[in-house]
Amino acid sequence: MDYIPILVLVISFIGLLAIGTPVAWSITISSVLTMLVSIPALPAFTTVAQRLGAGLDSFALLAIPFFVLSGQLMNKGGIAHRLIAFAKTIVGSLPGGLALINVIAAMLMGAIAGSAMASASAMGSILGPEMEKEGYSKEFGAAVNITSATTGLIIPPSNVLIVYSLASGGVSIAALFLAGYVPGILTGLLLMLVASFWAKKKNYKIGERSPLSQVFKTFINAFPSLLLLFIVIGGIVTGVFTATEASAIAVLYTLILGFVYKEIGFKDIPQILLDSTATTAVVMLLIGASMSMSWVMSFENIPQNISDVLLGISNNKVVVLLIINLILLFVGIFMDMTPAVLIFTPIFLPVVTALGMDPVHFGIIMVLNLCIGLCTPPVGSVLFVGVGVAQTTIEKVIKPLLPLFLAMVLALFLVTYFPELTLWLPGLFDL
């Protein structure tokens, strides 16, 4: 086995990140340096540049800018307020009611908007002050908001699952979307359990029970927003339209909804488009760079070599999955989710498929695992958004965050070793 390409790739990539080079450029430069091991400079530069462009030549990727735009429209369109009001009538009277409202609203908002950062920003700014007013500590509120925001990346529609479909060579997006429901809801329920226990321990105030008439009223107000889930997922699963077409329908629907709610005007459209374009540009650059690195790794036989090493350690599925999960948990601390999915899917997918694992199941495991990394320093984007919105510090949030971390790790363990949790829904629809 030739270890030189692996060493060049790993050392150069980590070294570039350590000196503060942006992730996309760290990926691209380390890919070029790895190619220089095998071929001359001009072909190496040309090949990486070519693969960077070719990596973006995919019809499925068109869904990402549309879902980003629909997420921006939802964030500005008053949807968060209606979802919070609905969640409040359901769980507001339970121990830690406001924390539970945060989790449920984040699950709904994340599922509709498909963005953990949008969810953390919206929930933190709306619920944060209300939780403080009711006697909750600022740090506990931030911790609940940060962890619950990530559930929207597992519950569809999810841009990350689309990226995994691309990286895995075409795993069904419809199957991935359906597979994300049970793990996402399970994670949310475990977070609610921990939040409720913590709130009871701290004697936080319990809200009043809402009458059925109020529950019905808030449901009717939130129903147009919730209907988007059925339109998008229902259309994809039944084959009425593709994920890309569904994303365009989501944009049109949320735009109309924003005007109906009178939360969006024509004057807001240019800024929304500008924000969406900036977010899309960052994501697409990361995807292109990561796809070029994946190709370089394939050219240098790096995935095959790593696969041989892992299977050489053990051919026991339980042990191999434990090793992969530990590696991904470590990777998630230092790398953003999109490049991590694109780089490590070609490495680990052959290993798990050799052990008989379904690629859909592994996709959910990978995304759920990397969601934990979004809540950890030094590059946890959701952590920084949640802390910033709450106007507190990472050091103060860590203590209430730890039990919620453990809930997410437990969810990861259950999803990893009980594939029925993931594959039940896709199997129901023969996907």
- Kindly report the average pLDDT of the chain as a whole number: 84
Given a cut of 90, whether residue 296 has pLDDT beyond it is no
Q: Can you tell me the mean pLDDT for 395-423?
A: 93
Question: 413 to each of 160, 230, 416, how far by Cα in Å?
Answer: 20, 29, 5
Residue 382 has pLDDT above 90, yes or no: no
Say which residue, 371 or 206, is predicted with more confidence.
Answer: 371
In the prediction, which pLDDT does 378 show?
Answer: 65
**Picking from 45-59, 67-81, 360-374, which range would have the lowest pLDDT averaged per residue?**
67-81
Domain ranges of the chain: 1-54, 59-428
Percent of the chain exceeding pLDDT 70 equals 96
Does residue 421 have a pLDDT over 90? yes
Residue 206 host element (H or E): none
- pLDDT top residue among 238 and 161: 161
The secondary structure of 283-346 as a DSSP string is HHHHHHHHHHHHHHHHHTTHHHHHHHHHHHH---HHHHHHHHHHHHHHHHHHS-HHHHHHHHHH
CA pair distance 430, 178, nearest whole angstrom: 11
- Range of lowest pLDDT (164-168, 232-236, 255-259, 272-276): 232-236
CA distances to 54, 133, 268 from 14, in Å: 25, 44, 41
Which helix (H) or strand (E) element contains residue 360?
A: helix 359-373
Please report which confidence band the pLDDT of residue 365 belongs to, taking 50, 70 and 90 as the band edges: very high
Cα 216 to Cα 84, 88, 213, 220, 230, distances in angstroms: 14, 12, 5, 6, 19
Question: Between helices 381-390 and 138-149, what is the axis angle to 10°?
Answer: 150
What's the pLDDT at 136? 82
In terms of pLDDT, which residue wins out, 20 or 118?
Answer: 20
Predicted local distance difference test score (pLDDT) of residue 362 = 96
Cβ–Cβ < 8 Å for 237, 157: no
Considering 51-55, 98-102, 421-425, the range whose residues carry the highest mean pLDDT is: 421-425
Tokens of 20: 């503060």
At 193 the pLDDT is 93
Residue from 318, 254, 267, 217 nearest 115 by CA: 254
SS3 of 161, please? helix
Q: What is the pLDDT of residue 112?
A: 67
For the ranges 118-122, 179-183, 265-269, which has the lowest average pLDDT?
Answer: 118-122
Q: Does the pLDDT at position 259 exceed 80? A: yes
